[in-house]
Structure 1
Amino acid sequence: MTESVDVLIIAPEVPAYAHPGDAGADLLSAESVRLAPGERALVGTGVRIALPDGYVAFVVPRSGLATKHGITIVNSPGTVDAGYRGEIKVTLLNTDAAEAYDIAPGDRIAQLIVMPVPRVRFIPVETLPESARGEGGFGSTGYQNTLGSNA
């Protein structure tokens, strides 16, 4: 079992975990919004938190909204720093090309994941140590297509 962390909160409804073991607690909309096809909107949650130093909260999409309705978060994950005390808002995007999507107060629109983050020291050097991956990135390992061959 992992250690719990106390997070001070002001909210019309406290985010809750849907199931034991869930990483993200559901964030609810505090307002009504209609997202037309291709439209994005900044949606308030009414939630304000005070994270302990050394922690961050990430706002991430809900997989059911993405799969069933094409609703995602534009800047996912949204980062809530420990020093931020304003309302957590979510920039939702309707990726459906044909159907509008209506959001009502109390609808689950995103998840909030709280994690520890270490403070790092950046140490300037002339070269970096070698690694197995090297400079490969942006699809350099290929991908598996539906026919089973690597591209």
Structure 2
Amino acid sequence: MTTPMNPTIEIKILDDRLRQWGLPQYQTPQAAAIDLVACLDAPLVLKPQQAAVLIPTGIALHMNSDHLCAVILPRSGLGHKKGLVLGNSMGLIDADYMAQCLISAWNRNPAESGLDITVQPGDRIAQMLFLPIVRPAFVVVDEFSAPSERGEGGFGSTGVGR
């Protein structure tokens, strides 16, 4: 059932191997994100500190909403245990983007470590989280309408470790 908190999103399968490997899905009943797999034809070796590589997911989306986006995030275990992270920290998928979703993958291990990461075809290597979008109207002002307790305090202005 489509509701504002549970919208319908169309998914196009671009790689038929996903039907065998498993379509993107939530792995547990309360999982926040769906897992994305590497739609590769052969294993991909990521060398430490080399340039990020774009890995196809085999899917495209049609969100059809001004108030929705998706973000691609690393899978926490792969980043913590192996050093596989996203080359752009996270990937933003706008609601009007309808081409294949790609994962920018990077091996963050130190260059001298020699810790290669091999991504196999069908590996779950990232996750996609859908988020609501607020699109405020902007009003240009010379002065703000009210002060705040913090004001213009920036980096470190609220203390360290408090």
- 2:142 is paired with a residue whose SS is coil
CA change 1:18–1:138 in 2 (3 A) is: farther
1:126 to 2:142 alignment: yes
The match for 1:10 among 8, 12, 36 is 12
Post-superposition CA distance 1:123-147 (Å, at most 9, x none): 1111223222222333433443xxx
- Give the TM-score normalised by the residue count of structure 1: 0.86
The match for 2:116 among 100, 103, 115 is 100
Q: Of Structure 1 and Structure 2, which has the larger fraction of its residues in helix?
A: 2
- 2:53 is paired with a residue whose SS is strand
Post-superposition CA distance 1:90-143 (Å, at most 9, x none): 111111122000001111111101122122211111122322222233343344
- 1:42 is paired with a residue whose SS is strand
Residue aligning to 2:47: 36
Runs of 4 or more consecutive aligned structure 1 residues displaced over 4 Å after TM superposition: none
Instruction: Give 1:128-143 correspondences, 5 Å limit.
Output: 128=144, 129-143=146-160
**Cα distance, 1:71 vs structure 2:** 1.0
CA RMSD in angstroms comes to 1.8
Consecutive unaligned residues of structure 1, counting only runs of 5 or more, are: 145-149
Deviates more, 1:90-99 or 1:3-12: 3-12
Tell me if structure 2 keeps the 8 A contact 1:27–1:108.
yes
Give, as a single letter, the amino acid of the residue that structure 2 aligns with 1:108: R
CA change 1:142–1:64 in 2 (3 A) is: farther
**Cα distance, 1:62 vs structure 2:** 0.9
Alpha-carbon distance between aligned partners in 2 of 1:108 and 1:139, rounded to the nearest angstrom: 38
Consecutive unaligned residues of structure 2, counting only runs of 5 or more, are: none
- Give identity over the alignment, percent: 34
Deviates more, 1:124-133 or 1:88-97: 124-133
CA change 1:72–1:7 in 2 (3 A) is: same
Alpha-carbon distance between aligned partners in 2 of 1:100 and 1:63, rounded to the nearest angstrom: 18
- 2:58 is paired with a residue whose SS is coil
- Give the TM-score normalised by the residue count of structure 2: 0.81
Paired positions, count: 144
- 2:78 is paired with a residue whose SS is helix
Give, as a single letter, the amino acid of the residue that structure 2 aligns with 1:130: P
**Cα distance, 1:63 vs structure 2:** 0.6
